[in-house]
Chains A and B, each alone.
Chain A
């Protein structure tokens, strides 16, 4: 421990956590915790985690190394990685974090941090190298301030810049347009299994741009940040409502809700884990789901033709909505999993059924 560099995680409320600085540059971000036991590489490459410092509640991290095929996008998006005991023998994960300059803090009392975030709600924070806490506080304050000044449409940062068309494995399957708010690769993989073609569109694509490709259905992907701040997409989605089936996932679900006229709100500390029970209120079936969202759909703002289709059984928040009339449905959790149980993959089949109808 003697030769190690001291590092701090300072939260915007001033609370501080010290540990061992393992790599990366100093950064600020929204501090969120994730209770998934596994899947650090999937999480770090999930664009939904853009702008966030990831606190892993499971203490042992990096244990099983890395694998490029686990990546959920083209790069690591997290603003920091915080854990209690990161593997220093198998250094593959540490090296990957270092390669992307991700600040990595080890030996942190993550339990205290998680309980704090649970009680205070999500907070901004900064990871800094420092000898003393007071030095750290000063530096962190600046970084947090800079972070606050970032533009709010995080989706626009992570989305593809140009339309991309991929051919799927099902030659007789439908053509689906995927609006990329920061999609996980596994959504693409699940679609490719079932579709003849998938076109990935940038988040601010217009109705005309998408319609010119003549999709049979649209999937609104997951993505980072506040749904209310995502620009140039609610209109597009609105125009498709009722015309072709639309399926929304996570951020996609919130965009859909807004397009339907409902509102979204910020959860106290969000859902970030791979063990959340969700009930499909239509079939009664219960899935153990992977979740990662800080915002949710406001139930009393739902228009009368929209039903709540899925419910989170932990806190009874909305986990999915459905509007038969306007041919759309969405879920707040991740049927594409990674990390997490694959129980809900059937929802992609359901989407195909909607398209076929």
Chain B
């Protein structure tokens, strides 16, 4: 028996809330591992603070703890569960660091628990850069010149020795947090200070620059018998200097010779052996000088990672699953290849296609942040695509990104070529159109000419097409489609419509074919239903045993702010629910980080762009019963109309029902017909109109341009001056065609999120989440609590009834999310979304209502009798659950952290307890707030919050906190008998409040403000808190919540309990 009998119960550490650099790829790997271990009969205990994950669903692990990922909490769980071993290699850097902490604090020893997958020595070797360099020396591997710096002075000396540019890499941070490239002494000094504070050990590796070198990554595995395989090689299109998470990457590598590649592979094996990784997966990053071929090692991670998820999807080799099996004693030869079912896993996948990954960025969400790519990761998501050639794969990836339909024309800007940024591809193509040579572009970008030539081929094909008079025949169209052009892009170039191109294409019989991802380039037969499309296939389409009548589920595409892992949860859960009802399910998605794109999640997996063209082609091949567009967030909703018009049956809410929710004017009519209050509103296309509307609606009001989704460019406006400023700043997006919406802002109102499911003759409320922050903060950014704590019961009942009426009137079938505001006991409906919402997984975990399953039952037409919705009630829950929120401000050094109507958070956590304050405390801890038990709280409050927060401040004082405050606030505190140190505002001269924060004297900041001017004035306060990782509360209700949490913190001890 390969399984070591001693492992009967194993604890897996999850990765916590989604942050930049650590996203749902760890849900994918953790879920895979849980399933694999359970299949071996092992009792799997899981801890993860992120409720949006699939791994925390009841079917995945045996026992689930949604608790903060801290050593104190794990200590309690170990005491309660008494597992035999713990695996720290599946939850990213968070789990690895936590694993190390559990060892150093003696907690594992205390409970007699073994750490498997990677031991202390391995974690230290890989994560402690000095340690790692010693190992590299031992195997004669080269690395960039560098030195570990622990203070500023030493740092300056080292810089002298190495010379600029210099790369900074803080120790023990994820996604290269706090790191970057410094080109000058001044820049270096500033960045070093920041980097030292980011590193939990205050250590920063200061390193010789390898900017412009080619970058590669090897995904490797090793078992306890020493068998070593390279699962995948990955090459970055972007040269060194851009974090690999932000780079466009392709697999397998394309520009290394056989010798150079095998040299790299040999070195990887030696490093793994020397590090002492007994078994598991790892990735090793290399840089190769473009001319000399000199190779250096950049880093290695002895765990599954973002790139291992990518590698798994790219090759069909389930790294995480196998890593888990290796950890409990299996050897690679004992694990059968899932895809071929006959060959063992101790092989190296062979690919007969090219995989491209393109990251997705969110700079537009963070005004002030520079769109620059550096060694610190900034992307929030990624897409992957598969094509037979680089060009096909690359253009499919651009399509998948949902931000462009090809290499769209831009106004060329030299700095967009020379400084890596999110728009570089388009400027690169434009430079080619504008006549720059490959050599010139290479000099400017250091992007390997191989890639440049490939891109040039695409640009040339576009130019030829432009010169010709349209597409002449099937052959010409086919050869263009083989280059990966979307119909939409071809329409743009030929000045026709997408519809026209599609019609032509169908008339000429030009369709893609679906090929299998089989790990072996066709050498062995495979039955795994994992497909990608290509126009290169000349074979007749194999049916792969697929029968007509399956259900297509559309995923949510690349993670972005506002649409992330939550929707993957909905999709995966939805797929399972459909399968329980005996449907065959085809999943379509383009995001390699997800569980939904694991080949064993659905019956058929299509790794394809989520655009109507690709989805309709899949439907043409599949002949499905219909498509479900309400599980994958806004992405499928946006293409619902095209799909429906393309002849695909929408299952659940009709196009009309969707439109009723999406079209504000129609939605307002529905509400009015039901006598439901909506905020007063108007539409203005210029400032004159706007000022008039402001008079009728009244200040404060919320402005947003009409075409914008997810709260972008949304602002609260309080005065005419603000309104003028708004129209000036957003002039480019406001016009007669796309006017500005102006809504009454319900100041101080309590907001609630309601998720409801409607079947043809039934309704079920999934739950109601009360937002902690008042109206004005985007629902995705506000903390939330279930059951509601402040809303009256009769109002809650009214809200439920109102939402049911709304769903009924709109003829929703399936999910509806309604956002409601309550002010002075009046209920207003703010908006409705005809789909699963971001809060669905949170509700499912908190209220234990299987809301996605109910939605599926509604969609497939189950009646009330069949569904029995009355069995479920979110009110039966015994615990209080608080949703915490995590922001990426530390990655965007110029951005403001003030919360507003535009969503900025990347992830969420859950705090669960019998008691509200404990749930709050856990949510704060899980959201990476460093709550201080004592010390100074700095206060700077706007006028209207002062009275409201007085009680809170008094109680904080009773808890032993001291205060400092700006003049106005200080005077207010004196007047109410509270002692405090007055400090200057920034414009009042030094030393001012920011100096005080930066000097480390302040433990917590409460800074409420409004109005554009004062927001700008207090920016540096919030910024310094981000830089020094000090909790900074920017809203009065949140301050009250913080008080509750701090009170609990002082009371000490808290409990843990499984779901």
The answer for the CA separation of A17 and B225 in the assembled complex, in Å, is: 45
A288 close to B347 (CB less than 8 A):
yes
* Interface flag for B515 (CB, 8 Å): yes
A-contact bits for B849-871, CB 8 A (1 contact / 0 none): 00000000000000000000000
**A300-357 with Cβ < 8 A to chain B:** 313-315, 337-343
**Do A341 and B265 form a contact, CB below 8 Å, given A35-B523, A109-B537, A279-B333?**
yes
* Interface flag for A137 (CB, 8 Å): no
The answer for the CA separation of A112 and B534 in the assembled complex, in Å, is: 12
Residues in B with CB closer than 8 Å to A109 are 536-539
B258 close to A285 (CB less than 8 A):
no
Q: How far is the CB of A287 from chain B (nearest CB, A)?
A: 8
* Interface flag for B764 (CB, 8 Å): no
A275 close to B450 (CB less than 8 A):
no
* Interface flag for B228 (CB, 8 Å): yes
Surface stretch bound by A, among B52-60, B348-356, B904-912: B348-356
**B305-359 with Cβ < 8 A to chain A:** 332-333, 342-344, 346-354
Which of B228, B259, B349, B352 sits near A343, CB closer than 8 Å? Answer: B228
Residues in A with CB closer than 8 Å to B225 are 284-286
* Interface flag for A60 (CB, 8 Å): yes
A118 close to B525 (CB less than 8 A):
yes
A35 close to B266 (CB less than 8 A):
no
The answer for the CA separation of A41 and B261 in the assembled complex, in Å, is: 14
**Do A57 and B479 form a contact, CB below 8 Å, given A63-B254, A111-B522, A285-B225?**
no
A64 close to B257 (CB less than 8 A):
yes
The answer for the CA separation of A111 and B261 in the assembled complex, in Å, is: 24
A273 close to B523 (CB less than 8 A):
yes
The answer for the CA separation of A58 and B233 in the assembled complex, in Å, is: 14
The answer for the CA separation of A111 and B386 in the assembled complex, in Å, is: 14
Residues in A with CB closer than 8 Å to B261 are 37-38
B-contact bits for A38-67, CB 8 A (1 contact / 0 none): 110110000000000000011110011101
Residues in A with CB closer than 8 Å to B265 are 341-342
* Interface flag for B638 (CB, 8 Å): no
* Interface flag for A1 (CB, 8 Å): yes
Residues in A with CB closer than 8 Å to B515 are 111
B344 close to A42 (CB less than 8 A):
no
Q: How far is the CB of B173 from chain A (nearest CB, A)?
A: 34
**Size bin of chain A's contact surface:** 35 or more
Surface stretch bound by B, among A84-92, A124-132, A169-177, A232-240: A84-92
Identity of the chain A residue whose Cβ is nearest the Cβ of B540 in the assembled complex: A112
Which of B226, B233, B347, B522 sits near A277, CB closer than 8 Å? Answer: B347
B352 close to A114 (CB less than 8 A):
yes
Residues in A with CB closer than 8 Å to B521 are 35, 57-58, 114, 273
The answer for the CA separation of A1 and B265 in the assembled complex, in Å, is: 38
A-contact bits for B438-454, CB 8 A (1 contact / 0 none): 00000000000110010
**A60-90 with Cβ < 8 A to chain B:** 60, 63-65, 67, 70, 84-85, 87, 89-90
* Interface flag for B768 (CB, 8 Å): no
A-contact bits for B224-251, CB 8 A (1 contact / 0 none): 0111111001000000000000000000
A57 close to B352 (CB less than 8 A):
yes
Residues in A with CB closer than 8 Å to B349 are 275
The answer for the CA separation of A112 and B453 in the assembled complex, in Å, is: 27
* Interface flag for B256 (CB, 8 Å): yes
Q: How far is the CB of A248 from chain B (nearest CB, A)?
A: 24
The answer for the CA separation of A146 and B390 in the assembled complex, in Å, is: 38
Residues in A with CB closer than 8 Å to B233 are 37
A70 close to B258 (CB less than 8 A):
yes
The answer for the CA separation of A344 and B349 in the assembled complex, in Å, is: 18
Residues in B with CB closer than 8 Å to A90 are 450, 453
Identity of the chain B residue whose Cβ is nearest the Cβ of A276 in the assembled complex: B347
A342 close to B389 (CB less than 8 A):
no
A285 close to B255 (CB less than 8 A):
no
The answer for the CA separation of A222 and B260 in the assembled complex, in Å, is: 24
Which of B256, B266, B390 sits near A342, CB closer than 8 Å? Answer: B266
Residues in A with CB closer than 8 Å to B450 are 63, 87, 89-90
A111 close to B347 (CB less than 8 A):
no
**Do A37 and B346 form a contact, CB below 8 Å, given A114-B521, A313-B333, A341-B265?**
no
B-contact bits for A108-123, CB 8 A (1 contact / 0 none): 0111101100100000
A60 close to B354 (CB less than 8 A):
yes
Residues in B with CB closer than 8 Å to A114 are 352, 521-523
* Interface flag for B388 (CB, 8 Å): yes
Residues in A with CB closer than 8 Å to B229 are 288
A118 close to B347 (CB less than 8 A):
no
The answer for the CA separation of A74 and B648 in the assembled complex, in Å, is: 60
B258 close to A273 (CB less than 8 A):
no
* Interface flag for B372 (CB, 8 Å): no
Q: How far is the CB of A289 from chain B (nearest CB, A)?
A: 10
The answer for the CA separation of A337 and B266 in the assembled complex, in Å, is: 13
Q: How far is the CB of B170 from chain A (nearest CB, A)?
A: 36
Q: How far is the CB of B349 from chain A (nearest CB, A)?
A: 7
Residues in B with CB closer than 8 Å to A64 are 254-257, 260
**Do A35 and B520 form a contact, CB below 8 Å, given A63-B254, A277-B347, A288-B347?**
yes
CB-CB nearest 10 A-B residue pairs: A39-B258, A35-B350, A114-B522, A57-B521, A89-B453, A275-B348, A38-B258, A112-B539, A286-B227, A109-B538
| 5 CB-based A-B contacts, threshold 8 Å | A60-B354, A112-B537, A285-B226, A313-B343, A341-B348
Task: Name A residues whose Cβ lies closer than 8 Å to a Cβ of B.
Answer: 1, 17, 33, 35-39, 41-42, 57-60, 63-65, 67, 70, 84-85, 87, 89-90, 109-112, 114-115, 118, 273-277, 279, 284-286, 288, 313-315, 337-343
Task: Name B residues whose Cβ lies closer than 8 Å to a Cβ of A.
Answer: 225-230, 233, 252, 254-262, 265-266, 269, 332-333, 342-344, 346-354, 388-390, 449-450, 453, 479, 515, 520-525, 536-539
New A-B pairs, 5, CB < 8 Å, besides A37-B261, A38-B261, A109-B537: A35-B521, A57-B352, A58-B252, A111-B522, A314-B342
